[in-house]
């Protein structure tokens, strides 16, 4: 999730790639999408309790929620100078069928890039690079001020990260997947020099009582990608079928690589490369089909292309079923719609 200013690298909040869209948009690791507490109990993670995999399509008509549909999408928009994340705005949209999306007007857009979202105990948690925004589920009003997110290892040493992707554990805590950017002073999605390098995708578990702000690093790597060229960034974690287990989608520029593991905190193995399916992805399994949301450049601006198939491998040849664009959301023409993050209530 992506940027391009030297000061940003110093802050460690961005993993950028080369976008060939005319906006160069997607900040802290839109990677070249041309585009298109302290106990870590993740061992229970092979449960079907991941928020992203909840396939209940019942509409919520109660007054204690700003949403009236089961699927919630976080994303950011931009109009000009999109390589600068300060020009990005975070929004929420909702859908009853994963195809038709409408803006959630009860929660005002705010400055922020590459968001992802979970909902827990009456609170909406929106993660941007290094920052957590909380909102009241019933009203959409801010629940306090924005908070810096910290990840520390078992020794208490800070872990720098970009591209956070949250999911809920069976015990209600948040697990956060991310690209480790510790020590990076350039685009974390790329090798710092012309030499090959390895990009590490890791996870951390929310510290009890921190309300989504402090995490402890889980042991081991979820995924290590040997990189000789291009980029690797923007992980998205979601629950797949019983046979596939957990799915980790990783942006490879305008493409997406899909990996699986039988447990949330296990090692992930490559299943399929989705060529030209869009980068900076989000995914969902509804109990019968996989849905892939990828950022791509189309019609003069970035938009989110939706594909669906009965298997992960089938997504490689699936046509675009629908798109989420400025036009479909009622936004000003030319607005870039980028970096989706999906939650199923």
Mapping DSSP onto H, E and C, the string for 133-158 reads: EEEECCCCCECCCCEECEEECCCCCE
- The three-point CA angle 334-68-318 to 5° equals 55
How far is the CA of 201 from the CAs of 65, 71, 217, 219, 278, in angstroms? 34, 26, 11, 12, 20
CB 225 within 8 Å of CB 250:
yes
Q: What is the pLDDT along the chain (345 residues), one digit of tens a residue?
A: 333 222 232 223 334 333 333 333 343 444 344 333 333 444 444 443 344 433 333 444 456 999 999 999 999 999 999 988 899 999 999 999 999 999 999 999 999 999 999 999 999 999 998 899 999 999 999 999 999 999 999 999 999 999 999 999 999 999 999 999 998 888 899 998 767 899 999 999 999 999 999 999 999 999 999 998 899 999 999 999 999 999 999 999 999 999 999 999 999 999 999 998 999 999 999 999 999 999 999 999 999 999 999 999 999 999 999 999 999 999 999 999 999 999 999
Taking the C-alpha atoms of residue 96 and residue 61, their distance in angstroms, rounded to an integer, is: 12
């Amino acid at each position: 999730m992506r940027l391009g200013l030297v000061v940003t690298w110093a802050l460690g909040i961005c993993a950028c790639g080369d976008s060939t869209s005319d906006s160069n948009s997607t900040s802290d690791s839109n990677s070249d999408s041309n585009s298109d507490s302290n106990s870590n109990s993740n061992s229970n993670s092979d449960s079907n309790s991941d928020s992203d995999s909840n396939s209940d399509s019942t509409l919520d008509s109660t007054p204690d929620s700003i949403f009236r549909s089961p699927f919630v999408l976080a994303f950011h928009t931009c109009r000009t100078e999109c390589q600068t994340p300060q020009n990005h705005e975070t929004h929420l949209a909702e859908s009853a069928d994963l195809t038709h999306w409408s803006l959630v007007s009860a929660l005002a857009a705010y400055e922020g890039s590459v968001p992802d979202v979970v909902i827990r105990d009456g609170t909406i948690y929106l993660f941007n690079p290094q920052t957590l925004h909380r909102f009241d589920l019933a009203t959409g009003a801010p629940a306090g001020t924005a908070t810096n997110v910290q990840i520390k290892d078992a020794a208490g040493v800070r872990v720098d990260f970009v591209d956070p992707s949250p999911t809920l554990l069976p015990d209600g805590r948040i697990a956060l997947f991310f690209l480790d950017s510790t020590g990076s002073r350039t685009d974390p999605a790329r090798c710092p020099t012309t030499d090959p390098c390895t990009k590490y995708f890791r996870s951390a578990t929310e510290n009890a009582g921190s309300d989504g702000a402090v995490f402890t690093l889980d042991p081991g790597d979820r995924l290590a990608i040997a990189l000789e060229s291009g980029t690797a960034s923007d992980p998205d974690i979601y629950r797949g079928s019983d046979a596939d287990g957990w799915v980790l989608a990783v942006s490879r520029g305008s493409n997406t690589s899909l990996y699986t593991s039988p447990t949330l905190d296990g090692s992930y193995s490559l299943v399929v490369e989705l060529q030209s399916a869009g980068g900076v992805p989000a995914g969902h399994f509804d109990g019968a089909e996989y849905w892939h949301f990828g950022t791509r450049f189309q019609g003069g601006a970035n938009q989110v292309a939706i594909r669906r198939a009965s298997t992960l491998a089938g997504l490689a040849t699936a046509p675009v079923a629908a798109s989420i664009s400025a036009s479909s959301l009622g936004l000003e023409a030319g607005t870039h719609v980028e970096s989706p993050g999906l939650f199923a209530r």
